[in-house]
Amino acid sequence: MNAQEREEGTQFAPKFDGNGLLSAVVLDAESKQVLVVAFMNAEALTATRKTGKVTFWSRSRQKLWMKGETSGHVLHVEEILVDCDQDALVIYAKPAGPTCHTGRTSCFYRRLDLEADDATALESVLS
């Protein structure tokens, strides 16, 4: 598949990197808040498409990881968008509960103060 086909065609041909992964960004379908950013390998992508529940590949644990498998806070897929070179996915989902393991709605609960020193650069934006 050449670049033109990959970018303009109708064929879904996900491009996994050297580690067999692509990036997946999950947003709340309703609020449009970014909930979590992680990776999928081919198996995780297939599971996500088949079950309608967002499934990642955990790089730290080196295993398939269905979001919410222990907490019950699964992410129900509503829509998947694919980028130009097909190496990243944007997934709009309906969360069954807080997405972050810390109990927060989103994993992105801190803002980086662009003026501050690193030691005190993070401030909470979600409780």
Binding positions for a second copy, rule: CB under 8 A: 7-13, 17, 23, 25, 27, 32, 34, 36-38, 49, 52, 59, 77, 79-84, 88-90, 100-102, 104, 107-112, 114, 118-123, 125
Nearer to a second copy, 96 or 98 (CB): 98
- 39 near 21, Cβ under 8 Å? yes
Was 100 annotated as part of a binding site? Answer: yes
Was 17 annotated as part of a binding site? Answer: no
For residue 91, the minimal CB distance to a second copy (Å) is 9
| Residue 54, Cβ density class (10 Å: 0-12 exposed, 13-18 middle, ≥19 buried) | buried
DSSP-H helix ranges across the chain: 3-8, 42-51
Residue among 92, 113, 109, 89 nearest 101 (CA): 109
Nearer to a second copy, 73 or 109 (CB): 109
The binding site comprises: 83-85, 87, 100, 107
The binding site for Mg(2+) comprises: 83, 85, 87
